[in-house]
A and B are shown apart, each in its own frame.
Chain A
């Protein structure tokens, strides 16, 4: 069964750094784009960016460019989303999701279970 398993919930203070992960299994990790989607009550679902693990090509939503870093380690079939300095407004649920084999703008057919990030002083 194709699966994406995300790391657990995190609580951080403003200004702290964080890296969350998404481990893929049962498919060719290097041949599909892997995206990150943020969900908040106020803005709903937002695509943040995607990485192609085969060559680490990365695309970002302009709203998130410079705010986060998306990466992948193909040796362990794991993608990452990281922040260097969290803000309270980063409080959200973050999902990883598998995109297409050729395009990063594609429907997302497999989703991780979500990682809740809470940023509070």
Chain B
């Protein structure tokens, strides 16, 4: 299996802050990486696919970057609606796997 490791586990930030979440793959996955946002009691929501392609309707303050084994989700100017848990997912192998999640909390 390809292991996905996110950091940090928890991130405390304020409205307006710029925040970044890192996702590392245990082997190279090209650009086959997605980012999801999940709020309590809700299903995950796809934000970004292919490492940097923003899904339709997702605010432009979200962006993704990276290739190979290291990837970053960046939120510029954090908004109240952005406090949630974020997951990365690799889909390079025949066995897709997710990171353990990063919770973005209000500071």
Contacts and interface: CB of A to CB of B under 8 A. Distances in A.
A61 interface: yes
A103 B50 CA distance: 14
A113 B30 CA distance: 30
Given A44-B100, A45-B87, A111 B94 contact: no
Nearest to B48: A107
Contacts of B80: none
State the main secondary structure of chain A at its contact with B: loop
Interface string A34-77: 00000000001111000000000001011000000000000000
A61 B95 contact: yes
Contacts of B43: 95, 97, 111-114
Nearest to B45: A111
Interface in B17-52: 34, 42-46, 49-50
A105 B93 contact: yes
Contacts of B87: 44-45
B96 A44 contact: no
Contact of B34 (A103, A107, A113): A107
Contacts of B42: 113
The size class of the interface chain B forms with chain A is: 20 to 34
A113 to B, nearest CB: 6
Nearest to A95: B43
B98 A45 contact: yes
A47 B97 contact: yes
Interface of B: 34, 42-46, 49-50, 55, 87, 89, 91-101
Given A45-B44, A46-B98, A62-B95, 7 more contacts: A44-B87, A44-B99, A44-B101, A107-B49, A107-B89, A111-B46, A112-B43
28 contacts: A44-B87, A44-B98, A45-B44, A45-B89, A45-B98, A45-B101, A46-B98, A47-B97, A47-B98, A61-B95, A95-B43, A97-B44, A103-B91, A104-B94, A105-B91, A105-B92, A105-B95, A107-B34, A107-B49, A108-B34, A108-B44, A108-B89, A109-B46, A111-B43, A111-B44, A111-B45, A111-B46, A113-B43
